[in-house]
Amino acid sequence: MGLDLPQGGIYHISVLRRVFAFVFVLTLLFPATLRKVSLEAGPSYTRVIFTLSSRAKVRTGKIRYRDKVLLYIDFYGTFPGRIRSRYYYSSSPVKMIRISRKDRRRLRAVIYLSRLGKYRVFFLPSPPRWVVDIFPGQGELTLSRQLGLKIKKIVIDPGHGGKDSGCVNRELRLEEKYVVLDISLILKALLEADGYEVVLTREDDRFIPLSRRTAIANNSGADLFISIHVNWASNPSVRGIETFYLNLAADPEAERVAAKENEYSGKTLSQMKGLLKKIVMNEKIRESKLMARKVQISLVGNLRNYYPDVRDLGVRGAPFFVLMGAEMPSVLVEVSFLSNPQEAERLKDPLYRARVASGIYRGIEEFIKEVEGK
């Protein structure tokens, strides 16, 4: 092509870092100026060109913001020249380019796209230019395409285990770890019968650290992660079903549930909030919220066929350690309260557990139907 394109075309950040580490030192000494921003429409891709006074170290990444895909490119040690802060384009996959100071060291260009498939970033000399080629995706109109989901493998995480019993109803001699394992095993059988591949984070009564549970999900390349728990409240009259997705807890009640389930993480809530703020952009929050809704509606609906008094406590976001860092849509279901005498009695009944499992199963099915656009 005559361009100094890296092998494979896609410019990988780690390669960038290694090759141009020394350039970074130079940019600190001799700051670059961003002189020009231009756009070229190609037949198969759109090219954005940033012309500079000298080569600057860059870092790029993707951000999903509501329904938009944002691509950013940070120029280190770079100052804005005579350029506008916003560039608008009407008949291009690139809708807008916004230039702003990220901090004292960085100038950030954000490219707003209607859709994004692959992209590549590379440098061209004389004049020094950073080039971003954007290849359109197949369109992001349907939810399934937007999410890029094809669900084959599901990880079910029975909460607690081993030395960690979870909550315990002493009168009924019922421990959360056994109840949730039983529900998980039934759910596994239901999903496997449908042709899904299912991985359990534990198949027996053993202790598994929370972080390893997420790692199991990530390492197995799972498409969905569902953690199953039984709830507990100091007030025995509290009852019902609630489903959580990972988020900063908005209300104290959600935080309370999260604190209970986080007990074995070895992290404080404030430590986790810090951690969460960093990763929240990368998490599949939107998808997880949708899955949480589907599971909640289906579970409550299914149980109400047999137990009309089942209380719907809704869907909420909370900072659950076990959901943190999961690379797939992930939810945590609190299937009933072991602290409520009636719900505890029900949890003891294998038929109730089977109905809980089938309610969750239908919720997962509903979610898959929606994201795969079936």
CA distances from 239 to 214, 336, 363 (A): 28, 7, 21
Note the residues at the interface with Zn ion (CB under 5 A).
159, 166, 229, 261
Closest distance to Zn ion from the beta carbon of 199 (Å): 19
Nearer to Zn ion, 130 or 232 (CB): 232
Our CB check for Zn ion shows the closer of 113 and 257 to be 257
The residue (of 229 and 353) whose beta carbon lies closer to Zn ion is 229
* Nearest by Cα to 265 from 324, 222, 316, 224: 324
Nearer to Zn ion by Cβ, of 153 and 348: the residue is 348
CA separation for the pair 299, 311 (Å, rounded): 11
Residue 63 bridge partners (DSSP): 70
First and final C-alpha spacing in the chain:
42
Q: Are 108 and 99 in contact (CB under 8 A)?
A: yes
Nearest to 156 by CA among 221, 200, 190: 200
Q: How far is the CB of 264 from Zn ion (least distance, A)?
A: 10
For Zn ion, the closer of residues 27 and 214 by Cβ is 214
Which amino acid would we find at residue 226?
Answer: I
Q: What's the CA gap between 293 and 134, in Å, rounded?
A: 34
Distance CA 34, CA 288 (A): 39
What gap in Å lies between CA 368 and CA 150, rounded to an integer? 8
Residue 136 or residue 166: which is nearer to Zn ion going by CB? Answer: 166
Phi, psi of 31 (to 5 degrees): -60, 150
Least Å distance between CB 185 and Zn ion?
17
In the complex, the smallest distance separating the C-beta of residue 261 from Zn ion, rounded to whole angstroms, is 5
Contact residues for 195 (Cβ-Cβ < 8 A; gap 6+): none
CB of 157 to Zn ion, least distance (A): 10
| Minimum CB–partner distance for residue 352 and Zn ion (Å) | 17
Nearer to Zn ion by Cβ, of 159 and 359: the residue is: 159
Separation of alpha carbons 256 and 253, rounded Å:
5
> Please, what is the minimum distance in Å from the beta carbon of residue 337 to Zn ion?
11
Structure tokens at 366: 């509903």
Residue with tokens 């019902």: 240
Residue 49: name the closest of 35, 60, 59, 68 by CA: 35
Provide, rounded to whole angstroms, the least separation between the CB of residue 165 and Zn ion.
9
How far apart CA 213 and CA 156 sit, in angstroms, is: 9
CB nearer to Zn ion: give 112 or 337: 337
Query: Which residue, 177 or 188, has its beta carbon nearer to Zn ion?
Result: 177
User: Minimum distance between the CB of residue 291 and Zn ion, rounded to whole angstroms?
Assistant: 19
- DSSP SS3 for 134: strand
